């Protein structure tokens, strides 16, 4: 394991699909983040050992960490307890730091937002799951957003997790049978307090890389399910903040969809493309996925069980994004080199 210290609160691209050739090996990586989402606590969880084979320095939950869908605190507590008893997950907890956000099923309400009457109780159970001390300021703050900085001998990574549930305004139901929701001309996902917090985290960041985890996709906007695309003004606000903050090397992560994919856009004012790496389906994947539009997609959609990896090289200022599945098989990767 590499020495990592946690501090509390022209562009080159290469893509390969299904190749086992490594661009940044585990031994050469200066820092490794593993992440994933959509995990049913009462079903087999085959990916924890493959995750550990990559020697990660951090694991980030991307949401739907359990499937509770309840306003019964005893049931939700029992579901979290069951997850904590999984042997593979216990090994992860023993070896590396774990942080994360929630999505709808661990929030307690499918596609739920600010209207959820159980959100305060649900937040405390979520914080219990992450062993957040009872005297932590996070216990008295609405929402589960959080950030941590990880220092190494060569550089640092700031991991920022957003809360896309607690404050999110109502979604607009679509009349199109092929869509669930339509974009809104207004509304918020994060609300002002969280936006101000995120601005401060980016503007004050000295990290070499800044990683933002959103439970729902940010740059895949056409499919009609939950996405930041349902609040297009929020996407523009995020882009403007990334530019104005001058934070280094911002990358986006997401979950929710039961598929994995890379999305990329060019942002005027950034000297690098902005990526959204979706890794979704630790054990609840969309096995019969039949396709959907995403004009920002790079590469292919992976619909089998998988987890995501980010491998950082501070000397060369580059990150390798990998999707890996059972037996640690490399399903797709994408090299990002910043100047």
Q: Is the pLDDT of residue 138 over 50?
A: yes
With respect to residue 96, please indicate whether it lies within any of the assigned structural domains.
yes
pLDDT for position 8: 44
Q: If you write DSSP's letter for every residue of 45-89 in order, what string do you get?
A: -TTHHHHHHT--SEEEE-S-SS----S-HHHHHHHHHHHHT-HHH
Strands 318-324, 330-337: pairing kind: antiparallel
Please list the residues that pair with 117 across neighbouring strands: none
Contact 202, 242 (CB under 8 A): yes
With respect to residue 181, please indicate whether it lies within any of the assigned structural domains.
yes
The three-state DSSP-derived secondary structure of 177-237 is: CCCCEECCCCCCCCHHHHHHHHHHHHHCCCCCEEEEEECCCCCCCCCCCCCHHHCHHHHHH
With respect to residue 260, please indicate whether it lies within any of the assigned structural domains.
yes
With respect to residue 95, please indicate whether it lies within any of the assigned structural domains.
yes
Please list the residues that pair with 324 across neighbouring strands: 307, 330
Q: What is the pLDDT of residues 166-212, one digit of tens each?
A: 999 999 999 999 999 999 999 999 999 999 999 999 999 999 999 99
pLDDT for position 215: 98
With respect to residue 237, please indicate whether it lies within any of the assigned structural domains.
yes
Helices vs strands, H then E, count in the chain: 7, 17
Q: Distance (Å, rounded) from C-alpha 28 to C-alpha 261?
A: 25
Q: Distance (Å, rounded) from C-alpha 289 to C-alpha 89?
A: 27
With respect to residue 76, please indicate whether it lies within any of the assigned structural domains.
yes
pLDDT for position 21: 42
pLDDT for position 24: 76
The boundaries of the domain holding residue 75 are 31-337
Split at pLDDT 50, 70, 90, the class of 339 is: confident
Split at pLDDT 50, 70, 90, the class of 10 is: very low
pLDDT for position 1: 47
Split at pLDDT 50, 70, 90, the class of 38 is: very high
> Who wins on pLDDT, 5 or 223?
223
Q: What is the pTM of this model?
A: 0.94
pLDDT for position 26: 72
Token pair, residue 116, equals 């959820």
Give me the CATH number covering residue 105: 3.60.21.70
Token pair, residue 254, equals 């997401």
Kindly state the average pLDDT of the residues 313-326. 97
With respect to residue 129, please indicate whether it lies within any of the assigned structural domains.
yes
Number of Cβ within a 10 Å radius of residue 262: 27
Residue of 262, 145, 156, 279 lying closest to 210 (CA atoms): 156
With respect to residue 314, please indicate whether it lies within any of the assigned structural domains.
yes
Residue of 228, 232, 239, 231 lying closest to 198 (CA atoms): 239
For the chain, how many structural domains are there in total?
A: 1
Q: Is 257 helix (H, G, I), strand (E, B) or coil?
A: coil
Q: Is the pLDDT of residue 88 over 70?
A: yes
Q: Is the pLDDT of residue 23 over 80?
A: no
pLDDT for position 4: 61
């Amino acid at each position: 394991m590499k020495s990592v210290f946690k501090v509390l609160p022209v562009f080159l691209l290469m893509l390969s699909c299904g190749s086992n050739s490594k661009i940044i090996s585990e031994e050469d990586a200066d820092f490794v983040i593993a992440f994933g989402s959509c995990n049913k606590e009462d079903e087999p969880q085959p990916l924890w050992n493959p995750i550990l084979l990559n020697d990660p320095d951090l694991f980030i939950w991307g949401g739907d960490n359990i499937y509770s869908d309840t306003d019964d605190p005893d049931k939700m507590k029992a579901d979290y307890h069951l997850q904590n008893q999984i042997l593979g997950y216990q090994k992860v907890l023993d070896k590396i730091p774990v942080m994360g956000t929630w999505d709808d099923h661990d929030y307690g309400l499918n596609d739920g937002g600010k209207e959820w009457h159980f959100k305060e109780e649900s937040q405390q159970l979520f914080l219990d799951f992450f062993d957040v001390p009872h005297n932590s300021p996070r216990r008295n703050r609405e929402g589960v957003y959080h950030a941590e900085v990880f220092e190494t001998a060569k550089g640092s990574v700031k991991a920022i997790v957003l809360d896309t549930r607690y404050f999110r305004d109502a979604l607009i139901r679509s009349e199109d049978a092929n869509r669930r929701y339509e974009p809104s001309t207004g509304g918020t996902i994060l609300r002002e307090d969280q936006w101000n917090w995120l601005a401060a985290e980016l503007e004050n960041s000295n990290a070499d890389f800044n990683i933002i985890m959103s439970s729902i996709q940010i740059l895949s906007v056409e499919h009609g399910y939950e996405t930041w695309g349902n609040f297009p003004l929020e996407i523009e606000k995020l882009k403007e903040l990334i530019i104005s903050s001058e934070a280094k090397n911002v990358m986006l992560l997401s979950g929710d969809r039961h598929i994995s994919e890379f999305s990329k856009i060019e942002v005027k004012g950034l000297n690098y493309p902005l990526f959204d790496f979706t890794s979704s389906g630790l054990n609840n994947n969309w096995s019969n996925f039949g396709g959907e539009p995403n004009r920002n997609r790079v590469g292919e959609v992976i619909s089998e069980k998988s987890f995501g990896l980010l491998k950082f090289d501070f000397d060369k200022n580059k990150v390798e994004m990998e999707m890996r599945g059972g037996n640690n098989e490399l399903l797709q990767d994408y090299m990002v080199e910043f100047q």
